[in-house]
Amino acid sequence: MKSYPVKFVPILKERLWGGTKLHDELEKEIESDITGESWELSAVKGDVSVVINGDYKGKDLQELIDTYKGELLGEHVFERFGSEFPILIKFIDARQDLSIQLHPHDDLARERHNSFGKTEMWYIMQADEGAELIVGFNKDVSREEYTGHLKANTLTELLNYEKVKEGDTFFIRTGKVHAIGAGVLLAEIQQTSDITYRIYDFNRRDKDGKLRELHTELALDAIDYTKKDDFKVSYTREKNVSNKMVHCPYFNTDYMEVEGHLEHDLSQRDSFTIYMCVEGSAAVETGGVREQLRRGETLLVPAGADKVDIIAEGAKLLEVFIG
């Protein structure tokens, strides 16, 4: 396989709560004023990313995986996940509050939906004044107390609100109730799964005037009812090195702020590497091919690459791989 920085066509999703920041801030080519998500790297059936550059232009991510297997993914990644790409990469713009939701763990998702669970993380790229997230409960809650508040339409009284700013990072474990608040633009890294249990939606109606489906009963056995301050990620910001953010069984994410020329060794990494640019721009070179990566763009470096050269003046990148 030719190892070069592979870029993909963003898959843009209109959402009831979406806005215009994916266009205004990240220069995505959209006209809709309710675009909520840009799926940057996806092998979800029906939404498979297509290559936009180089030798593999026009091929989709699933074709590349099926053809090159461990050369693309990394041998140990292919042994573990087979031909299923293990993560999904997005940028999200919330003009309105998202619904309050949670995701089941792997065992429950496999039993009910024949799917992986969904562990995810968020990196805040921009936040309006006063913008916040919902992450977890503000106290330990019993199942009975939870259902009582749900029936009384007072669930928000139990929830933990976190004000956010650029650079804040959150790790969302399965079972944790959560919601992205209005005015937040973020990068999301998650397990490949579209299994979401929506538990409260502020009584909003969709474009057809209908209330959106809630998953009240399914959620009851999936919720973590305890108060845990285990979601805010603390990380260093040393320049020209990989600063550990989130390392978990499903993905590793490091923060990289590049000033000048960084020659980054990948020879000991048996995994593909993804770079998301969250600020500034950079030139990324491997296999003799150089690609520009600007804010709001994502690229994939195949596992076969021994090193990558990054040239930038203060670009901020998220580096994602499987440990």
Q: Let me know if residue 247 belongs to a domain.
A: yes
| pLDDT tens per residue across all 323 residues of the chain | 999 999 999 999 999 999 999 999 999 999 899 999 999 999 999 999 999 999 999 999 999 999 999 999 999 999 999 999 999 999 999 999 999 999 998 889 889 888 888 999 999 999 999 999 999 999 999 999 999 999 999 999 999 999 999 999 999 999 999 999 999 999 999 999 878 999 999 888 877 888 888 999 999 999 999 999 999 999 999 999 999 999 999 999 999 999 999 999 999 999 999 999 999 999 999 999 999 999 999 999 999 999 999 999 999 999 999 99
Range of the domain at 249: 243-321
Element (H, E) at 190: strand 184-191
168 and 34 share a domain?
Answer: yes
297 and 148 share a domain?
Answer: no
141 and 283 share a domain?
Answer: no
> Domain ends where: 189, 205, 220?
220
254 and 202 share a domain?
Answer: no
279 and 216 share a domain?
Answer: no
Q: Let me know if residue 164 belongs to a domain.
A: yes
247 and 215 share a domain?
Answer: no
Q: Let me know if residue 227 belongs to a domain.
A: no
Number of domains in the chain: 2
How many other C-beta atoms can be found within 10 angstroms of the C-beta atom of residue 211?
10
129 and 274 share a domain?
Answer: no
Q: Let me know if residue 232 belongs to a domain.
A: no
300 and 209 share a domain?
Answer: no
Q: Let me know if residue 201 belongs to a domain.
A: yes
> Domain ends where: 156, 189, 220?
220
165 and 292 share a domain?
Answer: no
Q: Let me know if residue 238 belongs to a domain.
A: no
Q: Let me know if residue 228 belongs to a domain.
A: no
197 and 253 share a domain?
Answer: no
198 has catalytic annotation? yes
For 66-86, letters b (16+ CB in 10 Å) and e give eebbbbbbbeebbeebeeebb
The residue annotated as part of the active site, out of 198, 237, 290, 294, is 198
pTM of the model: 0.95
182 and 247 share a domain?
Answer: no
Contacts 24+ apart (CB under 8 A), 278-282: 278/123, 278/125, 278/187, 278/316, 278/317, 278/318, 279/125, 279/314, 279/315, 279/316, 280/312, 280/313, 280/314, 280/315, 280/316, 281/312, 281/315, 282/258, 282/310, 282/311, 282/312, 282/315, 282/317
153 and 274 share a domain?
Answer: no
Q: What is the CATH number of the domain that holds 291?
A: 2.60.120.10
Q: What is the pLDDT of residue 148?
A: 96
> Domain ends where: 187, 220, 253?
220
Q: Let me know if residue 198 belongs to a domain.
A: yes
